[in-house]
Structure 1
Amino acid sequence: MQARPLHGTPPARGGAVILLLASLTAITPLATDMLLPAFPDMGRDLHAADSSIQLSLTAYLLGMLVGQLLIGPVSDSTGRRRLLMWGSALFAVFSVLCAVATSTELLNAARVLEGVSGSAGMVLARAVVGDWYRGQEAAKRFSILSVIFAVAPIIAPVLGGLITNVFSWRALFVVLAALSVVLLIAVAAALPESLPPERRHSGGVATAFRSMRGLLAERPFLGYVLVFSFANVALFSYISGSSFVFQDVYKLSATKYSLSFAVTAVGILIGGAMVGNLAAKAGLNRLLTIGVTVGLVASAGHAIVAVTAGNTLTTSLVFMFLCMFAMGLTIPSIMTIGQEIGRRAGGAASGVIGAGQCLFGGIAAPVVGALGTGSDKPMAALMVIGFGCAFLCLVLIARPWQRHGENTVLGGQAPQSAATVH
């Protein structure tokens, strides 16, 4: 089935534009995962406890939460391109402020602002894909976003480890600022506006936020948002806790930790690629159900071994690979389903989905450190809780057997959204 764009025609060089959108999405895993090998050094340099350094991840996610809730709905009224350019420019500025921070308080304040500006790339990339594509074509593009989203965590810790082996952790933020400047130039030169004036919401920002409230009133949409949010409790528990588990418990160097993290992150890449290839045949809700189930089983297995025989580096890698594979199935499936349900308010839908991810992930990140970094048990417990709650929300609220949001993926007509704003 060919895509039927919501309006107009996507750019002739659609592949290059999708890669640009994916690169904008990748800023967040770069801004989080690239710092993981440097967490111990940051703590020593700033004379801070492990939990305080992990709070820098929460600070960034808090900024992402606020930014997506603001930028997503506003873009439904103002368009996407200009906000993307402002977001990239400000991200560079706030990354430089992070680089010169002399205390955790200053660092975390700058990280909040960095997260607000960095949220533009993530929330608007999803909205742009939703503007241009429907059905199977949308699923393919969202799978590309998720695959690039997977490549970034693979590269980021390795890159971060290499940089911190030569330079201070402060150089990591300089690199982030430089990358954002490159993306700003690319957006200005190559990305057209995907939401023309005739498709924007009238009534200004207030109307845009009412559309977000309308989306949350829809049980299926709320269910998928909760599934994604709780799944990200597991994801960010791993992201936040893995650096201490692999380096302090398993005694790996920063470089070896980065490589180990990269091995598990390949699971996201494989899962995302499967969604792009199998969405029409298997159905997005079925792939999502498989993903959440695999994540629950793998995280439970990891936790059981942790409290009985004790995990080794090998068993941890196997279980975490399966958990990341589960996230690879989950991320693009929910992106596609959520944007389809909320297609009439694409920025608002993208903002709500991303905000839930940041809120729940941001809560999980410091909890791992607060519960202790001397073993893998806190990380294992939180991952089970995350996948377990995601499974319950999937079955009790989202109800995947009703196949919400995938009618157009399989060739049918999509239902009207209650969040439609005229």
Structure 2
Amino acid sequence: MPQTTAVRRPIALIVILSALTAVAPFAIDMYVPGFPELGVELKSAASTVQLSMSVFLIGLVIGQLVIGPISDKLGRRRLLLGGTSLFTVLSVACAVAPTMPLLIAGRFLQGCAGAAGLVLARAVLTDRFAGPRLPFYFSIQSMILGIAPVLGPLLGGLIVTAGGWRAVFWVLAGLGVVLLTSVFLGVSESLPVERRAPQGIGATFTAMGQLMRGRAFAGYTLTLGFAAAAMFIYIGGSSYVFQDLFGLSAAQYGMVFASNAAVMLVANIIFGRASKRIAPSLLLSGYITVGVAGALALAIQATIAPTLGGTWAGLAVVMFGIGGTFPSVTTITQTIGRSRAGAAAALSGGGTYLFGALTSPLSGGEVSAMALYMLIALGLAAIALISARPWQPVVERTLT
């Protein structure tokens, strides 16, 4: 059974684990304001500078798919300590990188190391808690993930203005030191030896295949992946839509982005409260329905007569649906894969960033294209959800 009695200070643990999940989004967004300066200093084209972000996302995917299953065999704590330590060291390496190829290599490895916090934070929560508290704590993690993309560029802009793009990586290194200390002092081993995978490490990767062969787990994981794709399409295209098409300033666009992020936080809060009375699978069905309806309305108005107010409102509805989808799916997939929580977290988390990396360039600068691709992504999310049969009870799947 989960070690609920072993957690003397659950709030402190939740804060640390939430901070671990936020470090990767911060590492994605904080140095974006420094792209022009970075390109000039390292004599690289904009496309090459963008590659340094893409390889970080790839590292996050690969790192989660490797670290998660391994933790089912070796435990969580030592991998958390190792991953956080490497993230700190690699942040320093990026800060002093003299050439673009070295920076790109450092960013890829930094992503692999940063994946430890993302995947193992979910696994530790699954180890420690069960019942109505689990979806509530996952909703808190999702709120942190929603806040990070808003604060990241803002903080990054201040840091770049004060100290240049390299200062961002020094700040990330400092954050790594704080997280490493917090994990060392505040996160004990959550997976006792008797609950670890009895076979070798290779068998823990087999567990991922067993999970994905299950209709429910695969359907819910794909639901999250397609919803994440819609979110990344929005992130990738919204600045062009609101600034180039509707003529908003950077500050005004920041307000629009922040308001939509706030809507996602509201969806998370509602999920955290409602999950005590309503099954997460039913809540997920509602959130996906809202997301699809918002995307459809957005696409219609974008095709007929796109307006600032209509686009803003349509995106707010979509973001509400996506905001509730993240904690819902995480709760469900971690419940199904509780016996191999690391593998389950790797699949859902890795899929999120994989779908995001593949789809973020799709929207371009046209509101109609952004709306259409978001509608397609959320429509596929709805199909994947139906294949998972959300009307059936969610039960743990025992894996060998």
1:401 aligns with 2:396: no
2: CA distance, partners of 1:293 / 1:39? 38
1:354 aligns with 2:354: no
Q: TM-score, normalised by structure 2?
A: 0.92
What secondary structure does 1:208 align onto?
helix
- Greater alpha carbon shift after TM alignment, 109-118 vs 156-165: 156-165
2: CA distance, partners of 1:262 / 1:26? 17
* 8 A Cα contact 1:162 1:255, kept in partner: no
1: CA distance, partners of 2:392 / 2:373? 29
Aligned to 1:412: none
Q: TM-score, normalised by structure 1?
A: 0.87
Structure 1 alignment gaps of length 5 or more: 405-414
2: CA distance, partners of 1:367 / 1:103? 29
* 8 A Cα contact 1:37 1:254, kept in partner: no
* Equivalent residues in 2 for 1:16-95, closer than 5 Å: 16-39=12-35, 52-95=48-91
* Equivalent residues in 2 for 1:284-303, closer than 5 Å: 284-303=280-299
Aligned to 2:319: 324
2: CA distance, partners of 1:295 / 1:10? 38
1: CA distance, partners of 2:174 / 2:248? 30
Which letter maps to 1:380?
A
State which of 369, 372, 382 in structure 2 corresponds to 1:391: 382
State which of 95, 105, 111 in structure 2 corresponds to 1:109: 105
1: CA distance, partners of 2:275 / 2:90? 39
Which letter maps to 2:397?
S
* CA distance 1:241–1:103, change in 2 (3 Å): farther
Aligned to 1:407: none
State which of 174, 177, 182 in structure 1 corresponds to 2:178: 182
CA RMSD across the alignment: 2.3
* CA distance 1:196–1:217, change in 2 (3 Å): same
State which of 352, 357, 360 in structure 2 corresponds to 1:365: 360
What secondary structure does 2:6 align onto?
coil
* CA distance 1:61–1:74, change in 2 (3 Å): same
* CA distance 1:307–1:116, change in 2 (3 Å): same
Aligned to 1:142: 138
* CA distance 1:207–1:153, change in 2 (3 Å): same
Q: Displacement of 1:53 after TM fit?
A: 4.5
2: CA distance, partners of 1:49 / 1:318? 36
Aligned residues: 400
1:355-377 alpha-carbon deviations (Å, 9 max, x no partner): 11111111012344xxx44x334
2: CA distance, partners of 1:84 / 1:334? 23
State which of 204, 213, 231 in structure 1 corresponds to 2:227: 231
* 8 A Cα contact 2:338 2:396, kept in partner: no
Structure 2 alignment gaps of length 5 or more: none
1: CA distance, partners of 2:291 / 2:38? 31
* CA distance 1:107–1:384, change in 2 (3 Å): farther
Q: Displacement of 1:19 after TM fit?
A: 0.8
* CA distance 1:318–1:28, change in 2 (3 Å): farther
1:382 aligns with 2:373: yes
2: CA distance, partners of 1:45 / 1:305? 43
2: CA distance, partners of 1:40 / 1:154? 20
Q: Displacement of 1:78 after TM fit?
A: 0.6
1: CA distance, partners of 2:291 / 2:35? 26
- Greater alpha carbon shift after TM alignment, 61-70 vs 251-260: 251-260
2: CA distance, partners of 1:202 / 1:383? 43
Which letter maps to 1:220?
A
What secondary structure does 1:202 align onto?
coil
- Greater alpha carbon shift after TM alignment, 161-170 vs 83-92: 161-170
2: CA distance, partners of 1:15 / 1:345? 24
* CA distance 1:260–1:233, change in 2 (3 Å): same
Aligned to 1:410: none
What secondary structure does 1:186 align onto?
helix
2: CA distance, partners of 1:43 / 1:376? 28
State which of 237, 240, 243 in structure 2 corresponds to 1:241: 237
Aligned to 1:333: 328
Q: Displacement of 1:72 after TM fit?
A: 0.3
2: CA distance, partners of 1:384 / 1:103? 40
* 8 A Cα contact 2:333 2:344, kept in partner: yes
2: CA distance, partners of 1:393 / 1:100? 44
* 8 A Cα contact 2:232 2:360, kept in partner: yes
2: CA distance, partners of 1:196 / 1:18? 20
Which letter maps to 1:29?
P
- Greater alpha carbon shift after TM alignment, 256-265 vs 20-29: 256-265
1: CA distance, partners of 2:245 / 2:126? 43
Aligned to 2:150: 154
1:256-313 alpha-carbon deviations (Å, 9 max, x no partner): 433332211112211111111001322211211121122222223223333331232x
* CA distance 1:300–1:34, change in 2 (3 Å): farther
